[in-house]
Amino acid sequence: MSVAPITSKQRAGKWGDREASILGAAWALIAKHGFENMTMADVAQAVGLSEGSLYNYVPSKRDLAIRVAERWFSEQSASLSATLNALTSPKDKISLLVHRHISMILEQPELFLMWIREVRATNAYLTSSSREIFRAYTNLLRETIREGKASAEIRDDMGDDIARDMIYGGAEHIAWTAIVQNRTDDLAEGKAALALSETYWRALKTTDDAGDVNILKRIEEKLDRLS
């Protein structure tokens, strides 16, 4: 996501505009230089404040990281929700969610790294507003799975949280490995996301119970013959 330059009107705005300017500047600096290399002095200069004045709005660099991350996931949730509402098939929705999660990480690797290190990995995360915002983001997948279960398109013997961890965990691992190994071009066209979502769909979709029973019986019979 590109961040628009900070205008003089934004610099002179009220707290709401000032907050947007600060978060926008921090977002751009993190995306360009990484969270560890960004300083509060850099942010202050970008929005036309002294470093001391910046601390009146944001008490610490870590607090700034939290608020940038929360803004990021809030925007992702809003955008995804609007798109999902236009789809009807649970399979299409899952494919979109997987593709978008991988793309989000590839587009903003430094923001994602900041999210993992500075927000999600902390002891305070479990009771934080960040967790609630991230849950709103992942709830889009939970709701899709529940819809699929209600329409009998998705099996009901897998918990929603397990499915969520499987899907998002796999997508994050694939995206982050590609970044570390400098082979993001392999994922750019979305083929990996499509293959991954197809694999997930095969794991989630409703199957013929009778067929499954027959398979188990055949396996049991073979084991009996070997024993």
Q: DSSP class of residue 153?
A: S
Could you report the per-residue pLDDT of 113-147, keeping only the tens digit for each? Answer: 999 999 998 888 999 999 999 999 999 999 999 99
Tokens of 108: 């903003």
Cα gap 147→81, rounded to integer Å: 14
161 three-state secondary structure: helix
Cα gap 108→197, rounded to integer Å: 21
Question: Please, which residues have CB within 8 angstroms of residue 181's CB and are 6 or more apart in sequence?
Answer: none
Could you report the per-residue pLDDT of 62-106, keeping only the tens digit for each? Answer: 999 999 999 999 999 999 998 888 888 999 999 999 989 998 998
Residue 192: which pLDDT band, with cuts at 50, 70 and 90? confident
205 three-state secondary structure: strand
Could you report the per-residue pLDDT of 36-62, keeping only the tens digit for each? Answer: 999 999 999 999 999 999 999 999 999
Cα gap 80→220, rounded to integer Å: 45
Domains and CATH numbers, the chain: 1-59 (1.10.10.60), 65-208 (1.10.357.10)
**Top mean-pLDDT range of 4-8, 150-154, 158-162, 172-176:** 150-154
Q: Dihedrals φ, ψ of 38, to 5°?
A: -80, 140
Transcribe 145-204 into DSSP letters.
Answer: HHHHHHTTSB-SSS-HHHHHHHHHHHHHHHHHHHHHTT-THHHHTSHHHHHHHHHHHHHH
